[in-house]
Amino acid sequence: MLVESWRGSFVESRHRVHVAVVDGDGRLVARAGDPDLVTFWRSAAKPFQALPLVADGAADRFGLTSEELAIACASHSSEPRQVELVRAFLKKVGCGERDLLCGPHPPLSEGVAKDYQTRGVRLTAVYSNCSGKHTGMLALARHHGWPTEFYTRPEHPVQQRCLAEVSRWSDVPAQHLGTATDGCGVVCFALPVRNMALAYARLGSARANPAIADFGLGIADSTAESSIRNPQSAIRNIRESMLRHPDLIAGSGRPCTDLMRAHPGRVLAKVGAEGVYSALIMPEGLGLTLKVEDGNSAAAALAIAAVLADLGVKPQPESLTVRAHINSRGDKVGELRVNGGLEK
């Protein structure tokens, strides 16, 4: 599967795409390129990083709403409403903006970025697209009585809990998960695309691998016993919170939001940086993940829409079927479009 960048009637550049589609029983049912490619899951791992919040009882303790759980799973656009939601969430768990360790960056939405620049809004950590995830991590630390300082470090129990959940749902033993530092400073995870797809299928079926679940339990020491009381209902809660709030998962005009809005309750889509994209199709419970080999994000957005369409989820938003190249004179000079599909 390729995403081709056309200029006039010639292909100028090519983006190779690797895809794995896994069903509720964990079988690879479709693929493109190399489904065993190992790469970083980046922000597409967020549902599994938010899971301990619910599984360990922090969501109950703090009375977290479905909006708050959705924003914990989001790469949001820093829209005013999203930033306000994070601020309230922080307050609810007894934290403040200064506890957030995510670095600031321009909003992922060009429109929002331009608006804030015009208005001279100072972009602090709460404006980071990951501020919901970080707030969830602070909530988890508060709940367990772990220090809220240095919660981004690999050895901090918050990161260890996230790693355990990633391992549990992806079927990759913790010692085989690659780790590195994500764009926002927390731990990110390297694993095969196929295992990422498996985890999304399980986000649909809510069935984890018990053997790996036991393995995951070993990590959080004494606190672990009380944690993960009901991972099945926890993952259902995460899934339903995300499905209910497409507008919070990304933001106005961004691909995840457009894909989920086009098929409400049927598609859950979560982008990661560097051309990774995961999705879940309900009620079938098909999990899928793709990686654009070179990390191109625009190509990844077109590719995920094409893969969803290939799996019968149609129509996809027109903006995600083809993307025009406009030059400095405002003329259309070419376009980005998908060539090829899944091998089933």
Q: Rounded CA gap, 164 and 181, in Å?
A: 17
CA dist list (Å): 267 to 154, 156, 281, 305 = 32, 33, 5, 11
Q: Does 213 bind a copy of itself (CB under 8 A)?
A: no
Q: Does 183 bind a copy of itself (CB under 8 A)?
A: yes
Q: Which two tokens stand for residue 113?
A: 């970025």
311 close to 342: Cβ distance less than 8 angstroms: yes
Judged by CB under 8 A, the chain residues 55 through 74 that form the site for a copy of itself are: none
Residue 315: is the preceding peptide bond cis (ω within 30°)? yes
Q: Does 330 bind a copy of itself (CB under 8 A)?
A: yes
Least separation, in Å, of the C-beta of 200 and a copy of itself? 20
18 close to 290: Cβ distance less than 8 angstroms: yes
Q: Does 8 bind a copy of itself (CB under 8 A)?
A: yes
Helix (H, G, I), strand (E, B) or coil at 55: helix
Report the relative pairing of strands 286-292 and 10-22 from DSSP bridges. antiparallel
Return the residue of 24, 28, 38, 209 that touches a copy of itself, per CB under 8 A.
38
Return the residue of 90, 137, 163, 188 that touches a copy of itself, per CB under 8 A.
188
Stretch touching a copy of itself by CB under 8 A, among 19-27, 35-43, 56-64, 192-200: 35-43
Q: Does 15 bind a copy of itself (CB under 8 A)?
A: yes
Return the residue of 75, 128, 135, 170 that touches a copy of itself, per CB under 8 A.
128
Return the residue of 226, 233, 327, 339 that touches a copy of itself, per CB under 8 A.
327
Give the E-state strand segments of 91-186 in sequence order: 178-181
Q: Does 179 bind a copy of itself (CB under 8 A)?
A: yes
Report the relative pairing of strands 187-192 and 38-40 from DSSP bridges. antiparallel
20 close to 31: Cβ distance less than 8 angstroms: yes
Q: How many residues bind a copy of itself (CB under 8 A)?
A: 45
Judged by CB under 8 A, the chain residues 266 through 295 that form the site for a copy of itself are: 274-275, 292-295
Q: Rounded CA gap, 270 and 45, in Å?
A: 8
Q: Does 317 bind a copy of itself (CB under 8 A)?
A: no
Least separation, in Å, of the C-beta of 100 and a copy of itself? 11
Could you list the residues that contact a copy of itself (CB under 8 A)? 5, 7-16, 38-40, 101-105, 128, 178-185, 188, 190, 274-275, 292-296, 299, 327-331, 333-334
